[in-house]
Amino acid sequence: MTLEPIQETGRSDAKRRAIIDVAREVFLSGGYAAASMSEIAARVGGSKGTLYNYFRSKEELFVAVMNDACEDILAFMDAIPAAASAGHSVREDLIELGVGFLARLTRDDQVVAMHRLVVAETGRFPELGRLFYENGPARGAQRFAEYFQRVIAAGRLPPNDPKEVGQRLKDLVLSDIYMRRLWGVLAAPSQSELTAHVTRSVDIFLAAFGEPAH
């Protein structure tokens, strides 16, 4: 279940901003399991009770930190279905979407840091993986499925399971580069590197799932 933040009506945006900034430092420096609401409240400068007025639990605070760090990619994913009606060819759509998606995952240091945190901590705290999945990868998978549902319904690709083809495209786009970036053996890729990789991935995808209708 996705956690919904407490409504902020009448509360200080600056205070909420300060809490998120401090919490991000605490989570990334010491790990999620070791972080405590008491420590975060002390660093912000205030009582734990005040902190709970903004965030009901450490889980909810982590979701807020994650969404803040990943704001750009989350907004990008939410806009993916609209590309189905943008007037480009399917191949052009997929290359543009793939480059945008991969760039946001591999070139934003905050996004990379959050992914590394989840990988490092999920073994000790499985709930963290669930929270990350529901608020990130699952959301992206749904948006890609919605895109392919529209494209297939319009006859621009052969009939297929929109969820499956969306997952296969994402797998191809992320292949190799994403994991090497997480492992720290690859620097943030250049735009030309991203474009070349995604173009090849899209061509492999279309060879497997059908050329765009003309």
Name the pTM for this structure. Answer: 0.82
Highest mean pLDDT among 72-76, 99-103, 119-123: 99-103
Residue 84 confidence (pLDDT): 85
Where does a domain end: 66, 90, 108?
Answer: 66
Query: Over the stretch 8-50, which tens digit does the pLDDT of each residue have?
Result: 444 578 889 999 999 999 999 988 888 999 999 999 988 888 8
Are 57 and 142 found together in one domain?
Answer: no
Identify the CA nearest to 66 among candidates 119, 118, 14: 118
> What would the pLDDT profile of 49-96 be if each residue is shown by its tens digit?
889 999 999 989 998 998 888 888 889 989 999 888 767 899 999 999
- For residue 182, the one-letter residue type is L
The answer to the question of residue 8 being in a domain is no
Split into its structural domains, the chain has a count of 2
- Residue 59 sits in a domain whose CATH number is 1.10.10.60
Region at 10 (left for phi over 0; alpha for psi -120 to 50; beta for the rest): left
Q: How far apart are CA 143 and CA 114, in angstroms?
A: 21
Residue 2 lies in a domain: no
Among the listed ranges 124-133, 139-148, 159-168, which one has the minimum average pLDDT value?
124-133
Question: In terms of domains, do 121 and 174 share one?
Answer: yes
Q: What is the mean pLDDT of the chain?
A: 88
Give the domain CATH number at 188: 1.10.357.10
Name the band, by pLDDT with cuts 50, 70 and 90, for residue 3. Answer: very low
Domain of residue 174, residue span? 70-209
9: tokens are 């009506």
